[in-house]
Structures are given as structure tokens and as C-alpha cells.
Structure 1
Amino acid sequence: MADFKSIKVTKGIKTLEIDNPTGYHLIGMGAQGAVFKLSEDRCVKIYTSPLQAKMEREALKAGQHLSFFPRLYEYGDNYNVIDYFNAPTLKEYLRNCTYIPESIAMKLLDILGEMKKAKFTMVDAPLRHIFVLENEELKLIDHVNAFKRIHPVPLKLLRDLNMMLLKESFLSRVKKLEPKTYEMWQAYFNENKMDYRNIPVDPGGDGEGVKVDSAISQTLIGAGHQGAVYRVSENKCVKIYPKTQHCEQEKDVLLSHQDLSFIPKVYETGNNYVVMEYLSGPDLNTFLKKQSALPPVVSKLLLKILTSQKQAGFKQIDAPLRHVFVTNNGFKMVDHVYSYSRIQKRPLELFQNLHERGFLDAFLEQVKVLDPATHAEWTKKPIPLTDEEAQLEIINIEGKTDSKRKKGKDQGKDRDKGRDHKKGHNRDRDRSQKREHGGKRDNGDKKNRNRSKEHGRENDRKKRSDRIK
């Protein structure tokens, strides 16, 4: 087997680029690097930057005496070899809990206390970075920012617990177990309380989502290319936009169509924000991952949304799976920034999403039964299965096709691959990231997979075109 030192990890436009000539499996990657399993008890984290490798190495060395730190075995300019934990994360461990066990609360407080004694400035950890071994022994990974960021209060931990509706349970434990710690945390929140209308959200770079401050105590539930979404109460969330133009565009659509069943209820608006209904439930993409066949009711409800859009005067007719949520009140759809500013007569992204799930043919057959006229309109010419083909049909109100501008690059950037609202607003941010440690995902050759995927799409498109003709 080739030496792991031959693995190259570099920053790509949207994700890390990995060249892995070895047989070591990729088990996760994050913002700073990728992790590969070396053996049953060891793994190596390879970084894109030697500086970040050094930062985490110094933190690991400073914490070697702590029982919850991974052991550091070997290191180099761009890598660290540490313990491999084949165990669930604390997020997974608590998934079905209605309250946080006192034993877990005690151990979390012990970890935070020991980190403070060790002079770490970031006394915090998201649930996905904590692993639960046998006998509820906790292990903590990802210490790149241990001496860089200042978190005197565990903001990320509390944010994640809040997402799982366990924050109040944990705080009640803290109040009982460590009253002084509880009082300190409350004082911090009172001093740093921020009106959500003034939460800073900045535009992202080329092809990237918006930038947010990770130290904000409000629960961030999604960040895309047009804005960031924070949960502000049990039944409300706020979308904050760095560009007032995007806010005005989406606000216009939402307020004009509060009568439509799939539009979230709006409670308050401002120049750069919209307070709307918090949607509790999975997004349709997540829902369909668990289905072996496309339920006819899904096609029926999607068709209802698309038909209602057309009747209501929407210019962009589409319903991407990640923007549609399954709630107790039926399907709801978010992200309507371009509903009035782009002309799109067919649900192109929905077609692509269903094709990726293997449900496009079933959807078209079901629509043919439900609404033959709509089916005929959608299939009178081949259905595009790639972004490049889709851009040929999308026209900005200004009159320029997106495909003529960098062949759809701008449209690709504007489309919220970052998911403004994740998992019915319930999707945690870490679902959009691969686990940095302890996963069981093989790497494979990414470039070959992409080429095979595109080749498969092209063949499917040609076959579908022949059937339609």
C-alpha cells in the first residue's frame, strides 16, 4: 500500500480536491483538511495549509494530558496522525432523546472545565466533533481553532443542542450541577444579546455562500448564496440578506402570495430581513432518499405547487426538492428570490433532482395521468439533465440568457446549493459537510465518478429524447 504522504489535499472552488493514489479510505473532510483511516485505531488528517496543520498540532500537544483528547502519534508539515474513533457522534447519540442525560451533561461540563484550565480560548465544541465510546466516554476532535477563536461560552454546543430541542434540558442540568457556570453563561448572553435584525451577514466570494459570524448565539439553520437563516423562536425563523435587492425580491413574492398553501407565513419584514414561519419537517430530497418508489401523492402535491405558481403569475416555474418541505400542513416551499425575475417555463431543477433520485420517469408518467396538457407542454422537447442544457431555457427579465453569461456560471452561483433553509429549517449545518472523523465513506476517484455521472446523464437524456419523439 502506498504511503499516505502521497495523498494530496487542496482547496477547490466549492470543496476540497483530493488526489489519493493509496488504498486508504476517506472517512471525512471539513474546511481545513481530509481524514483517512490508516488502521482500526489510527487515522491521518491531511491539511490544505501547513499553518492549519501546525495550529492543530500545537493544540493536540497541549491537550495530550486530557482524557478526552485524541492521542497524537506522528506529524509532518501537512498532516497529523491521531486516534481513530469508530463510534457515534454525540449528535447521533442524542438523536432520539427528549432530554439530555445527567451523566452526559456532567461529562460535557468536565470537558469544558478542563479546556478552560488548559488555557484554550475556544472552550466549545459542536456535537459532531464529540464521539461517544463505550461507557459514555467522550472524545473531542478538531482543535485547529483552540487557540485562535475566543468562545468563553460554548456557543456551538448550545446552538446544536437548541437545534435538537435539548438546550433547555442541558441548561437546567448546568444550573443544578454548576450554578456559578450557569450564572456566568447567562451574564454573557445578557451582555452580548443582539437584535437579530442587526446580525451581520456578508456576501460570499466568487461561487461561495454568504459569510456569517460563528460566534453569534442565535441558532443558524442555513446559509446559501442570497442569505442566512436563523431560528428566533419555536415557530419562527429569520432570513437575513446581505443584498437589499434580494430581500425586496423575495419579500415581494412572499407578501403577494400569502394565500397560497405552499408559501410560508410571513410575520415581519425589514430592509434586509424577513421573519417567517419555521418549517418543522424534512426537505423533500431527504424524504425521497428513504423511498424505493415515488409515491403518487408526492407527484400530485408537486404538480399542485407548480400549477399554482403558473396561475399566480410566477415567472420562474420550479420546485427544487431541497426547497420543498414535508410538514403537518402539507408541502411548503422556500427560496423565492427569483420567482419574478427569471423566466423559466419548466421545472428544470426539479427534473434534475428527480433524475438523480431515479424518479424522473415515474414523475412524468404520474403527471401524464394527472394533467396530460402539462405533461405534453413539458415533454414537447427533450428534458435537460445538465446545468449547461438547463441554462439555455432560463432568461433573466433583463432579456439575457444566463447561458450567454459564462455559460450558466452565474445561475449556478445564484442557485442555493448552500441551502438557505436546511431540513425543513431543521437540517443542521453539518449535514452539508462530510464528517471530519469517524465516518465510513470511501473516497474513490472523484473525477472518474463525475465523468461517469455526466456520461450517464447524457445517455439518459438521449434515450428520453428518443421516447418523446
Structure 2
Amino acid sequence: MKDFKKIKVIKGENSFEIINPTNYPLIGHGAQGAVFKLSEDRCVKIYTNREQAKMEERALKAGQHLSFMPKLYKARSNYIIMEYFNAPTLKEYLKNSMYMPEAIAIKLINILKELKKAGFSMLDAPLRHIFVLENGDLKVIDHVNSFKRQHPAPIKLLRELKLILLKDSFLMHVERLEPKMYKEWEKFFDEKDIDFRKISVSSGGQGNAVNVDSALPLPLIGQGHQGAVYRVSEDKCVKIYSKEEHANQEKKVLLSCQHLPFIPKVYETSSNYILMEYLLGPDLNSFLKKQRSMPEYITRHLLKLLKTMKAHGFKQVDSPLRHTILTVDGLKLIDHVYSFTREQDRPLEMFKDLHLLNFLDSFLEQVKVLDEKTYREWTKTPIPLNELVKKQTYTGPHIKDELNKKIKTPEQIVKEILIRE
């Protein structure tokens, strides 16, 4: 088991690199590091920041007496070995629920009360960090910021329950079972209730991303060096920029191209924000990770999208997979700040993403069959893959568990819609 120490997790200014020469599968990664399964009951979290490792170690040790806290087996300067849960997250568990089960509501209330009693300042947890065991018990992971962030009310929990239409049902249980707690939350959110038009973000955050207020009641769904994206309703989101220049550049692209099928609808703009369509569906990077081979119909849609961009005067002709969303209306492309200003006639970001998924060669072969002229334009000079992948590299076992499931995922449903089209 000690060979997990060969795994390297490196976070650069604009990159995240995982080098995994072992057979331990990657089961999750984020801003703090990456998690690998060691056995049926243990996993290891490897951190990119040693201070964050110390913060989570402190929180886990302080909460070992709590029934919902993962067991801590070993902690060192850059990793922690802890209990692994082979169980659905609460988000998955509640996916088809029409109301919040009282038994789950009671357990969530007790978790929040116990966190407060133990002196934690972050009385909160997103649904994806809560696991439901076979016996119905709940377990909560990711405690790095438990003593750092001030969340006297469950901001993340409530905003995620709102997205799956269970917030009101949960609050009904809270009001009946814990009226004092309910009033405290009500007062907190009344004070925090804010119009998205009054939100501001600033440059200079971690990893070159903008700084945001983590205590805002709106769900943060994206954060980069240009700005932050919040979901404001079921079908709308707002992108708030740190620089007026970036807002104006993207506004020009979106408003002049509303007739193009891959451009999100715009509802309202200002000097530092754009209120636009919220796109329901997986990004293409997540979708393709679950495929055994490059789907030819995806190649056709990408080729059509890129040729449309070029025909309508886009200077940056590219479609990064993380910015390409599969929806019931076809492919939609987000992040257009540099579409009219940055000269780029080949989709280099897309090439890099496909290369990392081992799909670039098959993609180009399909393009050659579908549109030989475009293929020649893209390949007349070598694609600088070595330079591109320096920015982001992942080597190690691929997770393909979803391929073995017989239940249709949202991605599979979208795939069928695109095939019919």
C-alpha cells in the first residue's frame, strides 16, 4: 500500500497535474488535491498545499467522536489516509425524490448541531460531500475549511437543495423540529439576501482565479481568471467580471451572435455582468471520459460548430471541451471573451483536450473523411502537443465504472437526442 507515495499531485499557476504510476484508481480531485482508493474501506487524499493538509487533519481529529466523521487512519505533511465510503452521495440519493424524507432531514439537522457543539465554524456541507450508507447513516467528507470559513447557516446545503427542488421541503422539517435554528437561519439569509447586480469580484485569487465571497447564498457554478458564474434561477445564470474590458468583449460577441445556435441566450447586460441562459447538460470533457471511442456524431457537431465560428468572423476558432455543453438543443459554447480579439485559426485547446483523452487521432481521422479540406488546414503544420500538454497533464487509470451501469445517465439521454437529430 505504501506505493501510493509514488503518486504526484502538482498544482501550478494555471495547471493541475496528476501523475499516477500505481493501480490505485482516482476517485475525486479538486482545488485541494486528489483522492485515490486504497482498499474497500480506505482512501488517501494527497494535497497540493501542505497547510490545507494540516487544516483537514485538525478538523478530522477534532471530530473523531462524531458519528458522521470519516475515521482517520494516518496523517502526514501532504496526505491523509481515511475511511472510504462505497455509497451514493446525498445528491444521488435524493435525485428522484419529490420531497425531503423526514429521516434524512433529522440526520442533517443533527449533523449541523453536532458541528456547532464541537466548535466548527463551517456549519455546512454540499450534497456531494455527504454519503448515505446502506444502514441509512450519513457520513460527511472534506473538512479543510471547517475552522476557517464562517458559515453559521448551511449556505451550500440549502442552495443545492434548491436546485433539486427540495429546499422548501427540508425547511418545513427544520421549522417544525428546530424552530430556534430555523429563525437563526432566516435572520442570517435576510441579512445576506443580495441582488446579483450588487455582487462584485476582484482579480488575484488562488491559481489566478478571481476572488469571490463564499458566503453568498447564490450557487457558484464557475470561477476563472475573467470572472465568476452564479446560478440565479432554474434557467438563468450570471457571469460577473473583475474587469470591465472583459465584460465588454464578451458582451460584443454574445449580443452580435444571438442568431447562432451554439451561443447562449442573453437576457441582461451591464458594465460588469451578463445575465444569460443556464445550460442544462454535461460538458463535453465529462461526457467523452465515459466513452470507449470517439463518437462520430460528436465529431460532426464539433466540425459544424467550428466552421460556423470561422464563417461568422470569429478570430479565435476553438471549442475547449470543458466549455462545450451537450444540451437537448445541440452543442452550446461558453466563454467568448477572446472570440473576436485573439487570433487562432486552429482549435488547439480542443486538440489538447482530445489528446489527453486519447481521442485526438480518431477525431482527426473522422474529420479527414467528413471534410478533407479542413483536415489539411489543421494538419499542414504539426500540432504543438508537447507545448500544449505542459499546461495540464493527467496520467493514470481511467475511471469507466459508469460504462458498466445499465441505468441511463443524463449524458446517454443527450447522446440519443443528438443521434436522432
Q: For structure 1, which segment, 349-358 or 280-289, has the greater mean C-alpha deviation from structure 2 after superposition?
A: 349-358
* Structure 2 equivalent of residue 181 of structure 1: 181
1:215-266 Cα offsets, whole Å, 9 max, x none, are 1111111112222111011111001111111111111111111111111111
Structure 1 residue 127: Cα displacement: 2.2
* 8 Å CA contact 1:2, 1:21 repeated in 2: no
Identify if the C-alpha distance between structure 1 residues 291 and 8 changes in structure 2 by more than 3 Å, giving closer, same or farther: closer
Q: For structure 1, which segment, 263-272 or 289-298, has the greater mean C-alpha deviation from structure 2 after superposition?
A: 289-298
Identify if the C-alpha distance between structure 1 residues 46 and 296 changes in structure 2 by more than 3 Å, giving closer, same or farther: closer
1:314 aligns with 2:314: yes
Structure 1 residue 55: Cα displacement: 4.0
* 8 Å CA contact 2:352, 2:388 repeated in 1: no
Where in structure 2 are the equivalents of 1:269-348 lying within 5 Å? 269-348=269-348
TM-score normalised according to structure 2 size: 0.79
* 8 Å CA contact 1:253, 1:339 repeated in 2: yes
Q: Distance in 2 between matches of 1:63 and 1:282?
A: 35
* Structure 2 equivalent of residue 199 of structure 1: 199
* Structure 2 equivalent of residue 454 of structure 1: none
Q: Distance in 1 between matches of 2:348 and 2:49?
A: 39
Q: Find the residue that maps to 1:332 and give its secondary structure.
A: strand
* Structure 2 equivalent of residue 83 of structure 1: 83
* Counterpart residue type for residue 386 of structure 1: L
* Structure 2 equivalent of residue 108 of structure 1: 108
Identify if the C-alpha distance between structure 1 residues 54 and 308 changes in structure 2 by more than 3 Å, giving closer, same or farther: closer
Identify if the C-alpha distance between structure 1 residues 215 and 375 changes in structure 2 by more than 3 Å, giving closer, same or farther: same
Q: Distance in 2 between matches of 1:140 and 1:244?
A: 40
* Structure 2 equivalent of residue 396 of structure 1: none
Where in structure 2 are the equivalents of 1:136-151 lying within 5 Å? 136-151=136-151
Q: For structure 1, which segment, 242-251 or 114-123, has the greater mean C-alpha deviation from structure 2 after superposition?
A: 114-123
1:157-188 Cα offsets, whole Å, 9 max, x none, are 12333344443443344344434433332322
* Structure 1 equivalent of residue 170 of structure 2: 170
Q: Distance in 1 between matches of 2:295 and 2:252?
A: 33
Structure 1 residue 196: Cα displacement: 1.2
Structure 1 residue 79: Cα displacement: 6.0
Q: For structure 1, which segment, 90-99 or 191-200, has the greater mean C-alpha deviation from structure 2 after superposition?
A: 90-99
* 8 Å CA contact 2:44, 2:80 repeated in 1: yes
1:119 aligns with 2:95: no
Where in structure 2 are the equivalents of 1:366-377 lying within 5 Å? 366-377=366-377
Identify if the C-alpha distance between structure 1 residues 43 and 353 changes in structure 2 by more than 3 Å, giving closer, same or farther: closer
Q: For structure 1, which segment, 197-206 or 319-328, has the greater mean C-alpha deviation from structure 2 after superposition?
A: 197-206
* Structure 2 equivalent of residue 212 of structure 1: 212
Structure 1 residue 276: Cα displacement: 0.6
Identify if the C-alpha distance between structure 1 residues 134 and 319 changes in structure 2 by more than 3 Å, giving closer, same or farther: same
Q: For structure 1, which segment, 199-208 or 221-230, has the greater mean C-alpha deviation from structure 2 after superposition?
A: 199-208
Q: Distance in 2 between matches of 1:322 and 1:11?
A: 18
Q: Distance in 2 between matches of 1:19 and 1:387?
A: 16
Q: Find the residue that maps to 2:268 and give its secondary structure.
A: strand
Q: Find the residue that maps to 1:267 and give its secondary structure.
A: strand
Unaligned runs of 5+ in 2: 400-421
* Counterpart residue type for residue 301 of structure 2: L
Q: For structure 1, which segment, 273-282 or 322-331, has the greater mean C-alpha deviation from structure 2 after superposition?
A: 322-331
Identical-pair percentage = 62
Structure 1 residue 48: Cα displacement: 6.0
Q: For structure 1, which segment, 137-146 or 356-365, has the greater mean C-alpha deviation from structure 2 after superposition?
A: 356-365
TM-score normalised according to structure 1 size: 0.72
Unaligned runs of 5+ in 1: 391-408, 418-431, 433-438, 442-469
Q: Distance in 2 between matches of 1:16 and 1:313?
A: 33
* Structure 1 equivalent of residue 267 of structure 2: 267
Identify if the C-alpha distance between structure 1 residues 87 and 297 changes in structure 2 by more than 3 Å, giving closer, same or farther: closer
* 8 Å CA contact 1:27, 1:440 repeated in 2: no
* 8 Å CA contact 2:73, 2:82 repeated in 1: yes
* 8 Å CA contact 1:248, 1:271 repeated in 2: yes
Give the structure, 1 or 2, with the largest relative contact order (CA under 8 Å, sep 6 or more). Answer: 1
Identify if the C-alpha distance between structure 1 residues 349 and 160 changes in structure 2 by more than 3 Å, giving closer, same or farther: same
Q: Distance in 1 between matches of 2:17 and 2:297?
A: 40
Q: Distance in 2 between matches of 1:366 and 1:18?
A: 30
* Structure 1 equivalent of residue 385 of structure 2: 386
Q: Distance in 1 between matches of 2:354 and 2:42?
A: 39
1:270-301 Cα offsets, whole Å, 9 max, x none, are 11111111111122223333444444433333
Q: Distance in 2 between matches of 1:363 and 1:26?
A: 26
* Structure 2 equivalent of residue 400 of structure 1: none
Q: Find the residue that maps to 2:353 and give its secondary structure.
A: helix
Q: Find the residue that maps to 1:237 and give its secondary structure.
A: strand
* Structure 1 equivalent of residue 402 of structure 2: none
Structure 1 residue 268: Cα displacement: 0.7
Q: Distance in 2 between matches of 1:382 and 1:440?
A: 31
* Counterpart residue type for residue 297 of structure 2: V
Q: Distance in 1 between matches of 2:152 and 2:205?
A: 30
Q: Find the residue that maps to 1:188 and give its secondary structure.
A: helix
Q: Distance in 2 between matches of 1:83 and 1:27?
A: 13
Q: Distance in 2 between matches of 1:222 and 1:178?
A: 34
Q: For structure 1, which segment, 333-342 or 26-35, has the greater mean C-alpha deviation from structure 2 after superposition?
A: 26-35
Q: Compute the RMSD of aligned alpha carbons.
A: 3.7
Q: Distance in 2 between matches of 1:33 and 1:160?
A: 23
Q: Distance in 1 between matches of 2:88 and 2:118?
A: 26
Q: Distance in 1 between matches of 2:103 and 2:271?
A: 46
Where in structure 2 are the equivalents of 1:215-226 lying within 5 Å? 215-226=215-226
Q: Distance in 2 between matches of 1:66 and 1:294?
A: 46
Q: For structure 1, which segment, 124-133 or 274-283, has the greater mean C-alpha deviation from structure 2 after superposition?
A: 124-133
* 8 Å CA contact 1:2, 1:23 repeated in 2: no
Structure 1 residue 30: Cα displacement: 4.9
